[in-house]
Amino acid sequence: MNKANRIYKEIQQITLAVDCIIFGFNDYKLELLLIHRGFQPERGKWSLIGGFVQNNEDLDEAANRILFNLSGLENIYLEQVKTFGKSNRDPFERVVSTTYSAMILKSDYNEDKVEEYDAKWFPIDQVPELIFDHREMVNSAINRLRRRIRSTPIAFYLLPQKFTLPQLQALYEVILNEDIDKRNFRKKIAQMKFLVKLNEKDMSESRKGAYLYRFDKILYEKDKYFNL
């Protein structure tokens, strides 16, 4: 920033906000958490969870705070996606909003909060009409997620610490919106040493039971080869 330009600052009237695209995986569907607007304007529509950035708060902290207020969860995995800055994107005032993508484990999530905030999970192929440019925000978050799950181990934030390969594969299938060959998928998993097979089965989803696996962060740090 050039000091000569600081002249503009005096008159700047722009509010900075954060909006969160919250992903969850449940019942073999990828879902988004949205809140319902019970007031005018845009009454009846749904929106992302958002809030304004406070003066002494990092942008990332603001996203964390907003998520904590809503969910009671701390240290949620967050990634900045994109900043939306069209001057008329919010018709009521000038708000520039930075979006963050969050991965949460639905089972950790405090369901009381859902009530309190009039929030609801929607499968991503059944997202209702959203206010302002929130639909565009959702789209860019999904596109980013699709790109990133192929090369980084972020899908594990959407699963319990111990998960089965059928679960993991189903998660990839719904995110990528395509069928994946079971054997090819497992071949790749086997190459990634940081995906550790446990001597323990999950018997809840089939008669035979499926082995549980665990993502080992330390092993991953040593050899970050990730390719799915």
Indicate the angle between helix axes 182-191 and 165-176, nearest 10 degrees: 110
> Which one of residues 14, 196, 198, 203 is an interface residue with DNA (CB under 7 A)?
203
| Using rule CB under 8 A, residue 176 touches a second copy | no
Residues in 188-207 at the binding interface with a second copy, rule: CB under 8 A: none
* Nearest-angstrom CA–CA distance, 209 and 204: 7
Query: What's the rounded Cα separation, in Å, for the pair 156 and 72?
Result: 20
Output b/e per residue, 73-84; b: 16+ Cβ within 10 A: beebebbebbeb
Contacts 24+ apart (CB under 8 A), 206-209: 206/166
Q: Give min distance, CB of 5 to a second copy, in A.
A: 4
Q: Which residues pair with 68 in a beta bridge?
A: none
b (16+ CB within 10 A) / e for 155-181: bbbbbeeebbbbbbbbbbebbeeeeee
Give which of DNA, a second copy, none residue 71 binds (C-beta under 5 to 8 Å, depending on kind).
Answer: none
* Residues between 156 and 175 that touch DNA (CB under 7 A): 164-166
Q: Give the footprint of a second copy on residues 24-63 (CB under 8 A).
A: 35, 37, 39, 47-62
Of 85-93, 166-174, 186-194, 217-225: span binding a second copy (CB under 8 A):
85-93
Residue 82 in the binding site for a second copy (CB under 8 A): yes
- Min separation Cβ 203 and DNA, Å: 6
Query: What number of residues does the chain have?
Result: 228
One character per residue 69-108, x = contact with DNA (rule: CB under 7 A) = ----------------------------------------
In order, the DSSP letters of 114-164 are: HHHTTEEEEEGGG---BSTTHHHHHHHHHHHHHHHHTTSTTGGGGS-SEEE
Minimum Å gap between C-beta 147 and DNA is: 15
CB of 32 to a second copy, least distance (A): 16
Please report how close the Cβ of residue 212 comes to DNA at its closest, in angstroms. 8
Would you tell me which residues interact with a second copy (CB under 8 A)?
1-3, 5-6, 8-9, 11-17, 19, 35, 37, 39, 47-62, 66, 80, 82-87, 90, 93-98, 117, 132
